[in-house]
Amino acid sequence: MSNRMKFTGAGLLSALVAIVALPALGQEAVQAAAEVVDDTPPVTEIGYIFTTFMFLVTGFLVMWMAAGFTMLEAGLVRQKNVTMQLMKNVALFSIAALMYYVIGYNLMYPGDGWTMDGVIGAFSMASLEPVGLADTETDLTYASVGSDFFFQLMFCATTASIVSGTLAERIKLWPFLIFTVVLTGLIYPIQASWKWGGGFLAPGEEGVTDFLDFAGSTVVHSVGGWAALAGALILGPRLGKYKDGRVHPFPGSNLPLATLGTFILWLGWFGFNGGSQLYMDTAGNVADISRIFANTNTAAAGGAITAMILTTLVFKKPDLTMVLNGALAGLVSITAEPLTPSLGAATLIGAVGGVIVVFAVPFLDKLKIDDVVGAIPVHLCAGIWGTIAVVFTNEDASLFVQIKSIVIVGLFVFIVSAVVWFILKAVMGIRVSEEEEINGLDMAELGMEAYPEFSKG
């Protein structure tokens, strides 16, 4: 469609009024109508407007996932630790916002300013365009810097939320928050720059197969999972979790709250995957976004239903927490490639995520790795599966490249995270005392008044 045919609603109405009035107003009306047409934004500017709008809307959907993680974790920990989880999630989101501004954004998207070409980005603070784009020659082929920064920040915060749930009920507040500073300011942006910032895992010379990770099964979810795994191994399990050769389950404080958190995460995922289309400037891009929404939804459903059926077969009764994590695993699994699968393929990809959760949770218990909310099976294990599953629906994917990239990112994140956890453990300690753990972190770390039931488990 040509530029002259693209009218806004108000512009079209004004033009029609002017045309009707031509006999009475003469040449002045003709000039007024022409001016209305000339004021119509060019095609590139319209694309810029819609893509910017998409980033803002999908960005606040992803931000809503912070509420989902908070509700899920608060519902799955014991009552004596609920307020601690609430505090951690508000704090980690705020820390991520500041660290991504101070260093993370340009470290992740350095443009031509790489400190070490393709490996380490630029060390500088993020900055936005001038008010009203004054005195600038803005690139109108993409979106505003502010919308891009806002959208990408939400992914960074999501990574930190994953770690919070795994280490719940026994980690000190301030060491956890210091780790969050390192994770959101350095670890996440550096590895994300390798793929999304044009680094060495991004497409290079012609004919070289690209590592494909559409919205972050590896770049976001498995990164949080690797960091959580390193922390869980160094921190150790909760008191009484593995005793006398048996696994002792600790029921969550509020399963309705955990279920609400899951649905909030499910909702936020439409922004997570849909916004990763990165453009909303053509009919094709809009159609693809709708396709991504549909595939994301059906993958979650496949994971939830599979977990419900499997737990019924394996444990004789369906397990709600497994079903909740099954839905989340389905979402993580489809995140690496939510565009190319059919609805049936997306459902199957999500269903495998549900299978992974049902078997990975007891496997971790056998290894005595205590993951309070099941974040390692959901985000790490299903993230690995989702990244590999790309090869089944996207002909441009290479199994070798996908696995190589998983290993590179995994080794980097796990080793650096482990080093940071060890340093924190040596310098200030990362675990509360046995007495404080028994009484609960709400009292030990936040000074809340103890209640009699706190000492019951």
Taking the domains of the chain in order of start, what are their residue ranges? Answer: 3-38, 50-456
Tell whether the model's pLDDT for residue 449 goes beyond 80.
no
Higher pLDDT, 109 or 448: 109
Question: E-assigned strands of 256-380?
Answer: none
How far, in Å, CA of 311 to CA of 318, rounded? 5
Identity at 120, one-letter amino acid code: I
Residue range 159-187: mean pLDDT, rounded: 97
∠ Cα 421 199 124 (to 5°)? 70
Question: E-assigned strands of 125-284?
Answer: 242-243, 246-247
Tell me the three state secondary structure of residue 229: helix
Tell whether the model's pLDDT for residue 344 goes beyond 60.
yes
Closest CA to 166 of 221, 211, 115: 221
Beta bridge pairs of residue 431? 171
pLDDT tens across 350-379, in order? 999 999 999 999 999 999 999 999 999 999
How far, in Å, CA of 158 to CA of 161, rounded? 5
Higher pLDDT, 120 or 29: 120
Structure tokens at 447: 């000074």
pLDDT tens across 302-327, in order? 999 999 999 999 999 999 999 999 99
Least confident of 50-59, 136-145, 372-381: 136-145
Angle between helix 343-366 and 382-393 (nearest 10): 150
How far, in Å, CA of 142 to CA of 51, rounded? 7
How far, in Å, CA of 149 to CA of 152, rounded? 5
Residue range 9-15: mean pLDDT, rounded: 44
How far, in Å, CA of 255 to CA of 319, rounded? 11
Least confident of 42-51, 289-298, 302-311, 399-408: 42-51
Q: pLDDT value at position 134?
A: 82
Residue range 110-137: mean pLDDT, rounded: 91
Q: pLDDT value at position 8?
A: 41
Dihedral of the alpha carbons of 439, 441, 444, 448, in degrees to the nearest 10: -90
- pTM reported for the whole predicted model: 0.88
Closest CA to 325 of 300, 342, 348: 300
Higher pLDDT, 30 or 261: 261
% of the chain beyond a pLDDT of 90: 82
% of the chain beyond a pLDDT of 70: 87
Instruction: Specify burial of residue 60 (Cβ count, 10 A radius: 0-12, 13-18, 19+).
Output: middle
Tell whether the model's pLDDT for residue 17 goes beyond 60.
no
Given a contact cutoff of 8 angstroms between Cβ atoms, the answer to whether 297 and 177 are in contact is no
Q: pLDDT value at position 457?
A: 47
Backbone angles phi and psi of 120, in degrees to 5: -125, 125
Q: Mean pLDDT in the chain?
A: 90
Q: pLDDT value at position 4?
A: 37
Q: pLDDT value at position 94?
A: 98
Tell whether the model's pLDDT for residue 13 goes beyond 50.
no
Q: pLDDT value at position 111?
A: 92
Tell whether the model's pLDDT for residue 239 goes beyond 60.
yes
Identify the CATH homologous superfamily for domain 50-456. Answer: Ammonium transporter AmtB like domains (1.10.3430.10)
How far, in Å, CA of 113 to CA of 124, rounded? 10
Centre a 10 Å sphere on the Cβ of residue 200 and count the other Cβ atoms it contains.
14
First to last CA, the chain: 67
Least confident of 38-42, 83-87, 104-108: 38-42
Given a contact cutoff of 8 angstroms between Cβ atoms, the answer to whether 368 and 242 are in contact is yes
Q: pLDDT value at position 88?
A: 97
- Residues in Cβ contact with 435 at an 8 Å cutoff, skipping those fewer than 6 apart: none
Least confident of 53-57, 75-79, 134-138, 316-320: 134-138
Per-residue confidence at 26, pLDDT binned at 50, 70, 90?
A: low
How far, in Å, CA of 73 to CA of 81, rounded? 10
Q: pLDDT value at position 430?
A: 97
